[in-house]
Amino acid sequence: MKTLSFFCIDFDDNFWVDFFKKQKTFSPDIWIERKEFTKKKFLKNFKNSKFIDWQKAIRGQLNIKKNYKLNRKEEKYYELNYEKISFMLKRYEKYDDKISIVKKKEYIKKQFIKWKSFLKENKLDVVLFKSIPHHGFDFIIYQICKFHN
């Protein structure tokens, strides 16, 4: 039986580490988290898994070998959903409110491409969100997953 690979975002308490530890058919291959105690417990229990620091996820600082381009359908989907994605990133404008619309659009598209590349490279079966995606990066991941089913 194939073990499913999971990408877990914001599972910030020990319950989830213990839950995944008990599973036989799936394991968390990649985990994004901000709390140090969860990070330590995760790394101790899942030595073959990757951990991405929350701040690096927000900045799109990912270890990817190649940035894949968007195909025509993805490009159209991105354009149609730009307003939703842009709205989710409004919360970060307090850090840089002088950013031009053009630069903002370039930044969001760059993040979209980075996360698409990351998901493609890691060949994940399931992406789990503990809560409704409401940060910039997790909403972008959600939109990519939604497009690709």
* C-alpha distances out from residue 120 to 90, 113, 133, Å: 27, 10, 20
Report the alpha-carbon distance of residue 59 to residue 61 in Å, rounded. 5
> Where residue 64 falls among pLDDT bands split at 50, 70, 90?
confident
pTM (two decimals): 0.81
Residue-level pLDDT at 32: 86
Q: What is the per-residue pLDDT across 89-119, written as a single tens digit (0 to 9) for each?
A: 666 555 556 667 777 778 888 888 899 899 8
